[in-house]
Structure 1
Amino acid sequence: MESIFDNLYLYEIVLLFLGAFLFAILCIGLVYYIIKNEDIKKLLYFFPIAIIMIAYPSIKEIQVGNNKIAMRENVERLLKNPDNEQARKELEDVTEKLEKRTSSVKDLKA
């Protein structure tokens, strides 16, 4: 079974935990504001920050998927025209980015 933290950098894990902590604090504050009948508008502005902090690793993973698509397109362009230096350079750049995030032999073969 894969761990949630597989294929995540340290800063992404830190953002995930801090975002979850901020979200919990905001929920507690929201309940407190509701009980005390205070204005909750000023508190609601901070919820998107916590959600973005939690979702950031997912957003980065989508970017990795786009790199895989870009890699396939560049491989096809390079197979059609082996002398295309631009496609070769783009393929090398995308490959370097993806090599850092591989987690299995299947990813490495791709």
Structure 2
Amino acid sequence: MTTNEKEFKGGPYSRVTTEDFFKFLDKNSVTTNCVMCGNGVAIVSETSKVSLANPHQPITYVTLFKHEPVIPTEHVLNYYYMLHCEKCGFNTTFSAHRVHSWLTAQQMEESTEDKNE
């Protein structure tokens, strides 16, 4: 297994919080209205995790999905997050790599701003 493959198997993509995912959608002017029926209610697939240090405060992460190609390959573009329309059931997916890259860039930008103050 290569270093890149280790990174892809869950890695940082499985630690994107639901709040951060919605920040990505908002800052990139992505509507959560369904593109098929126009319904305004989209459900994000979430996974809650509890730490031993804080068992009464679960952290909610965006559920990480993996596309399994016919020829098994490990690539960052195999991973995605999903919104689900409450009304018609249409699924919209977002590249986990793109979301994580954007969040990382935002955190670095915020860190730079904090140092300059």
TM-score (norm 1): 0.27
TM-score (norm 2): 0.26
Greater helix content? 1
Greater strand content? 2
